[in-house]
Structures are given as structure tokens and as C-alpha cells.
């Protein structure tokens, strides 16, 4: 039997999922407008943090979006 050789290549598979969450506009997320008009603006960093926290909730429904992407893993390591 002839000898054969092979090279191990590390792959990664990424599935993108999406969810929609509703972030309540609390005083923590709102701030007074800088123009002195009495209106309020949204602190986008606080809004994003609250949305991510809602995304971690087990009750959040996630849907697969598109096809799974398979590519070479950016960090090649030898197999165990």
C-alpha cells in the first residue's frame, strides 16, 4: 500500500442569528439635550448596553439569518 500524506487545516463555522429587542427608555438611557431646550437625547452607549443585556435573556427569540459561513480559522493551531 502506498503512503499518503495529509495536512490538517483548522476551520471555523459561523452562523449569524438576529433578534429584535425593545429597550425601555429609562432615565438612565436619556440625558438632557445640550442646547438647553428641555428636550432629552439618548445615550447611545447605554442604549446599546441595555439591548445587549436583553439579547442575553433566555426569553429572547433568535432567528438564523442567511447561510452558515465556513472559512479558514484565523489562528491555525495543531490538532490535539
The reply to whether 16 falls in a domain is yes
Quick one: pLDDT at residue 35? 85
Residue 27 in any domain: the answer is yes
Residue 6 lies in a domain: no
Range of the domain at 37: 11-72
pLDDT tens sequence across 20-31: 999 999 999 999
Q: What is the rounded CA–CA span in Å between residue 16 and residue 64?
A: 6
Mean pLDDT for each consecutive 10-residue tract of the chain (80 residues)?
90 95 94 86 95 97 95 83
pLDDT for the residue numbered 75: 87
Helix (H, G, I), strand (E, B) or coil at 63: strand
The answer to whether 10 and 77 have CB atoms below 8 angstroms apart is yes
Amino acid at each position: 500500500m502506498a503512503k499518503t500524506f495529509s495536512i490538517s487545516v483548522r476551520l471555523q463555522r459561523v452562523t449569524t442569528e438576529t433578534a429584535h429587542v425593545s429597550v425601555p427608555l429609562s432615565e438612565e438611557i436619556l440625558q438632557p439635550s445640550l442646547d438647553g431646550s428641555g428636550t432629552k437625547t439618548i445615550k447611545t452607549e447605554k442604549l446599546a448596553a441595555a439591548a445587549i443585556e436583553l439579547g442575553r435573556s433566555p426569553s429572547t427569540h433568535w432567528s438564523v439569518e442567511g447561510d452558515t459561513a465556513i472559512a479558514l480559522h484565523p489562528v491555525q493551531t495543531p490538532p490535539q
